[in-house]
A = this chain, B = another copy of it.
Amino acid sequence: MTTAERHAYFMKMALKQAQIAFEIGEIPVGAVIVHNDTIISKAYNQTQLLKDPTAHAEMLCITSACHQLGSKYLTDCSLYVTLEPCPMCAGAIKWAQLKSIIWGASDAKSGYLAVSLPHIFTKKTNLISGILEPECASLMKAFFENKR
């Protein structure tokens, strides 16, 4: 697999998680964490279901991956998420020292870049945006159109 194919493959897995969120009425964001080319955790946004504002896909995915590896650091892991992380999730990603963050759609309202937090990650962190952006964005758009 090329790097581009790998990114598309894992983002599709994150999209599957987002689709589950969509179907149960949650804002459709999904995430997977990859270690040695293997998915070690996957999660979708569950803020409504758990009545917990911290239950974003990325947060649940990080907690689960740490349990899986028995470590509070995920230095050799990559996080794939369908939406640009918010400041809370960006902060968690920083604490977990994830190697790479790959996201699909940008979030002009609540994303960490939108709220002027561009320097939260160190230069060692790989930041890749726009993977399967149309699919990730259209799921969000469909969700909010349904809500109107």
Q: Using a CB–CB distance below 8 Å, which chain A residues touch chain B?
A: 47-48, 50-54, 59, 62-63, 66-67, 70-73, 86-92, 94-96, 115-117, 119-120
Contact = CB atoms under 8 A, between A and B. Distances in A.
B116 A54 contact: no
A67 B47 CA distance: 12
Nearest to A117: B117
22 contacts: A48-B72, A50-B72, A51-B66, A51-B67, A51-B71, A51-B72, A52-B63, A53-B72, A53-B92, A53-B95, A54-B54, A54-B62, A54-B92, A86-B95, A87-B90, A87-B91, A87-B94, A88-B90, A88-B95, A115-B117, A116-B117, A116-B119
A73 B51 CA distance: 8
A119 B89 CA distance: 17
Contacts of A88: 87-92, 94-95
The 6 closest A-B pairs by CB, nearest first: A88-B91, A53-B95, A87-B91, A53-B96, A53-B72, A51-B72
Contact of A72 (B47, B63, B71, B73): B47
Contacts of A51: 66-67, 70-72
Contacts of A54: 54, 59, 62-63, 92, 95-96
A66 B95 CA distance: 24
Contacts of A120: 87, 115
Most B C-beta atoms less than 10 A away, residue of A59, A73, A95:
A95
